[in-house]
Amino acid sequence: MIYDIRHVTRFDYGRPVAFARCNLRLKPILWSGQQVERYELAVTPAGETRPALAEAGLANVTRLVVTERVRNLTIESVSRVMVDRMVPMPQSEDPTLAEVAALARANRDLSAAGPSAYLYPSPLIPLDADIAAWCAQDLDPDRNALEAGIALAQRIQRDFAFDPTATLVDTPPREAFLKRRGVCQDLTQIMITGLRAAGLPAAYVSGYIRTIPPPGQERLIGADATHAWVMLWCGPARGWVGVDPTNGIWMASDHVIMAIGRDYAEIAPIDGIVLGSGAQKMDVSVDVAPIG
């Protein structure tokens, strides 16, 4: 499947801001099953951009500096991505959860693609005993890792209400867990908490899913904005497997990965600082169109 993706972010400031320095992590990464065929970034008013020298997650990071005094800033990211991914089916030769945990602890890859970085709590996803206990019901150490992963995602999808009014971007996982409601980020963070508490390597993915469903299928949740889901490392043979607790499905050809990190802080599509005072307002629009 090939997608044309248009992701526009517009900031409006109550008063002119003098100086902005941002990280843009908008260009989808190169990853197994997807390729970026075209990419364009446009910033208005024009700022200086260049690739970042130092970065934490698996992301294409552009540093943006706008020195002009501005009242608004528009960042338009346009990409064409080819995605070709199979739905993974659990097999009897897949490792158990206990094996995955031991393999991840012993793994010698220190890079951001290696599993061991994702074994630990991270600043936005602390370990939580209650979430751990709730998730543990699906995470028997002797269970097939893929089976366990999809089972937990589907239970989250069933037991949690999708509710954009329940949480904010910085709501801690525990709060969403107690409410049993939230958006993709909340559900993703809860699932990651449960997996990591069980000693499993779990990563946070930001990306897109297609806006218009194929004929006869329901529209997926999360299509009007950036989406988030989970990657579970399932041993060296399987590698990273994506699973979407908001929709209770595997990551496949409807998902486009933008960036992968330990939590949102490492892969936020836009973050940084501007110098100014007063309020800021932000509008985001995302369009993911399949072109064949």
Partner 1 sequence: MASHALSEGLFDAAAHAARWVADYRGRVGEGAGDVVAGGDPDAWTAAFEELAVAAGDDLAHAQERVQRHAEDIGTGFRVAGDSDERPWPVSPVPLLIAEGEWQAIAEGVAQRAGLIETILADIYGNGTLIAEGAIPAALINGSPLFLRPMVGLTLPGGYQLQFAAFDLGRGPDGEWRVLADHLRAPAGAGYALENRLATSRTLGGLQGRLNILRHAPFFTAFRDGLAALCKRAEPRIGLLTPGRWNASYAEQAHLARYLGFLLVEGADLAVAEDRLYVRTIAGLKRVDALWQRADPRMLDPLAFDSHSTIGVAGLIDAFAAHNVLISNAPGAGVLEAPALQAFLPALAERIIGEKLKLPNIATWWCGDTAARATVEARLDTLMIAPAFGVNPLGLPDGAVQGSELSAEARQALLTDMARRPQDYVGQELVRLSTMPVVADHELAARPFTLRVFAARGVDGDWTVMPGGFARIGEHPDIRAAVMGEGIWSADVAIYSPDPVPPASLLPAPDSTQIRRNPGTLPSRVADNFYWLGRYLERGEALLAIVRAMLGNSIDADAGAALDHDTVGRMAGLVVAAGAAAHPAHLKRPDLVQLARTALDALDGWNNIPAINRMARTIAQVSRDRLSADVVRLLDAPHPTKGSMLDRCGSLQRRYAALSGLSAEHMGRTAAWRFHDLGRRVERGLAVARLVRTFGMTGASSDDLTTLLDLADSQIGYRQRYLTGIARVPVIDLVALDPGNPRSLAYQADRIAEHLAELPVLNDDGVPEEQQAEARALCALLSTASATRLDKGQLDDAERQLAQLSDAIARRYFLQGAEPLRAGGLTLA
- Does 72 participate in binding partner 1 (rule CB under 8 A)? no
CA 255 to chain CA centroid, Å, is: 11
- Does 96 participate in binding partner 1 (rule CB under 8 A)? no
Compare residues 31 and 208 and give the one whose CB is closer to partner 1. 208
Choices 34-42, 173-181, 210-218, 267-275 (CB under 8 A): range interacting with partner 1: 267-275
Question: Which residue from 78, 132, 166, 252 is in contact with partner 1, where contact means CB under 8 A?
Answer: 132
Total residue count of the chain as it appears in this document: 292
Handedness of CA 258, 247, 262, 235 (dihedral sign): negative
- Does 248 participate in binding partner 1 (rule CB under 8 A)? no
Query: Which residue bears the tokens 């991914």?
Result: 85
The angle at the Cα of 18, spanning 16 to 23, to the nearest 5 degrees, equals: 110
3-state secondary structure of 106: helix
Contact 88, 226 (CB under 8 A): no
Query: Which residue bears the tokens 């075209």?
Result: 38
Question: Which residue from 93, 142, 170, 218 is in contact with partner 1, where contact means CB under 8 A?
Answer: 170
Q: Looking only at residues 197 through 226 of this chain, which bind partner 1 when binding is defined by CB under 8 A?
A: 197-199, 206, 221-226
Query: Which residue bears the tokens 């932000």?
Result: 282
Question: Which residue from 27, 43, 60, 63 is in contact with partner 1, where contact means CB under 8 A?
Answer: 63
Question: Which residue from 78, 166, 252, 265 is in contact with partner 1, where contact means CB under 8 A?
Answer: 265
- Does 280 participate in binding partner 1 (rule CB under 8 A)? yes
- Does 41 participate in binding partner 1 (rule CB under 8 A)? no
Question: Which residue from 3, 5, 11, 70 is in contact with partner 1, where contact means CB under 8 A?
Answer: 11
d(CA 20, CA 18): 7
Question: Which residue from 2, 36, 41, 56 is in contact with partner 1, where contact means CB under 8 A?
Answer: 56
| Alpha-carbon distances of 198 from 153, 168, 191, 206, 215, rounded to whole Å | 15, 27, 11, 23, 39
Residue 282 makes CB contacts below 8 A (sequence gap 6+) with: 9, 10, 11, 12
Binding residues for partner 1, rule: CB under 8 A, are 9, 11, 13, 17-18, 20-23, 52-57, 63, 65, 102, 104-112, 114, 116-117, 119-121, 123, 127, 129, 132, 164, 169-170, 183-185, 197-199, 206, 221-228, 265, 268-277, 280, 282, 284
